[in-house]
A and B are shown apart, each in its own frame.
Chain A
Amino acid sequence: MTVKEFAERLNLKVMIEGEMDREITGCYIGDLLSWVMGRAPEDSAWLTVMGNINSIAVATLADVSCIVLVENAALDENAAQKADIHGVTILQTPENSYQLAVKLHGLLEE
């Protein structure tokens, strides 16, 4: 499933449109950036509440498919700019990480 399909099917708000054709092969949840950077698998959807510039750097480093800001967590202005420059897709949802992860799991199992 691509990032584009993921966003459409789960009705996620596209805050920054990066590489929408990237495949999503898994999911990672975490907010402690130093922890996430060494552990999030590449090509996963990363669910977090951290919408700052460092999150974009972590997403780049871990090479995740997209960031999903859960529980409508905010995206900082400078983070939005960097995400745009580096082609990192940022999605947003009112749901929490657990709710969204369960739905994502369902889609990945199809």
Chain B
Amino acid sequence: MRELSLNVMDVAQNSVRAQADLVRISVEESDREDFLRITIADDGCGMTEEQVQQVIDPFFTTRTTRKVGLGVPLFKLSAEQTGGSFDIRSQKGVGTTTTATYVKSHVDMTPLGDINSTVEILIRCNPGIDFVFTRSTDLGSFTLDTRELREVLEGVSLDTPDVLEWIRAYLTEQTQSIIGGADIP
């Protein structure tokens, strides 16, 4: 993928399909320690060890329309080609955690892309699911927790335009506060 945020979208949609109630997405990065780590953790139906091996195999897919599935394999490749690592931990009935760690300064590093839009789209398209999005850099961190939003909203759905507008503004503002310079999509 040309942007890592597209990989996040892809994996988060797997969480949705796994009937998750809560999906945690975090993007941690540090220029000092030269890494970027993306974690997507859900409380969905989980997988057996055999199923985990299958999703990292590009020649396995649950789709019947074609014989290869490249979402997870390409995510894994993107991390490994920077000298980083990739890991899926899953337990049947408990959930799945996918972690991709990148060496940020590597020349083959894929840009993160517009992660805020990814989060906003996920919330908009899945108003029944809760998302916790955390982003951290050397300058600080912030969290958006839709469970907290729901408490304040008292029954107003997360996919109403005003709420989405607020989410967008909040993410933009918080991102600016922890990213120095022009590195904002």
Q: What residues make up the interface of A, taking CB atoms closer than 8 Å to B?
A: 32-35, 37, 52-54, 56-58, 60-61, 82, 86
Q: Do B58 and A53 touch across chains, with their CB atoms under 8 A apart?
A: yes
Bound Cα distance from A73 to B59, whole angstroms: 22
Contact of A33 among B57, B66, B67, B70 (CB under 8 A): B70
Q: Which of B2, B67, B74 contacts A54 (CB 8 A)?
A: B74
Chain B contacts for A82, CB-based, 8 A = 59
Q: Contact between A54 and B73 (Cβ–Cβ < 8 Å)?
A: yes
A61 CA to B73 CA, complexed, in Å: 14
Query: Is B77 part of the binding interface, using a Cβ–Cβ cutoff of 8 Å?
Result: yes
Known: A53-B58, A57-B59. Is A34-B74 also a contact (CB below 8 A)?
A: yes
Interface string of B65-90 (1 = CB under 8 A from A): 01110100110010000000000000
Q: Is B121 part of the binding interface, using a Cβ–Cβ cutoff of 8 Å?
A: no
Give B110's nearest chain A residue, CB to CB.
A32
A32-B2, A35-B2 known; A54-B66 Cβ under 8 A: no
- A86 to B59 Cα, complex, angstroms: 10
Q: How far is the CA of A34 from the CA of B3 in the complex (A)?
A: 10
From the candidates A32, A34, A35, A61, name the one contacting B68 in the complex (CB within 8 A): A61
Residue among A32, A58, A86 making CB contact with B70, cutoff 8 Å? A58
Q: Which residue from B1, B2, B73 sits with its C-beta under 8 Å from A57? A: B73
* A56, B57: Cα distance in complex, Å: 11
Q: How many pairs of residues, A versus B, come closer than 8 Å at their CB atoms?
A: 36
Nearest chain B residue, comparing its CB with the CB of A79: B58
**Closest residue of A by beta carbon distance from B61:** A57
CA distance A37 to B57 in the complex (A): 16
B58 close to A54 (CB less than 8 A): yes
Which chain A residues lie closer than 8 Å to B67 at the CB level? 60
Chain B, Cβ-Cβ closest to A60:
B68
Kindly state the separation between the CA atoms of A77 and B64 in the bound complex, as whole angstroms.
28
Q: List 9 A-B contacts (CB under 8 A).
A: A33-B74, A34-B1, A54-B74, A56-B58, A57-B58, A57-B68, A57-B70, A60-B68, A86-B59
Residues of B within 8 A of A32 (CB): 2
Q: Which one of B1, B2, B58, B67 has the highest number of Cβ atoms from chain A below 10 Å of its Cβ?
A: B58
CB atoms of B59 and A34 under 8 A apart: no
- Tell me the bound Cα distance from A97 to B2 in angstroms: 21
CA distance A106 to B73 in the complex (A): 36
Docked CA distance A56–B2 (Å): 20
* Bound CA span A86–B67, Å: 11
| Complex contacts, A56 vs chain B, CB 8 Å | 58-59
Q: In the complex, A57 Cα to B66 Cα: how many Å? A: 11
- Residue numbers in A under 8 Å from B66 (CB-CB): 61
- For A60, the chain B residues whose CB sits under 8 A away are 59, 67-68
Query: Which residue of chain B has its CB nearest to the CB of A86?
Result: B59
A28–B59 Cα distance when bound, in Å, is 22
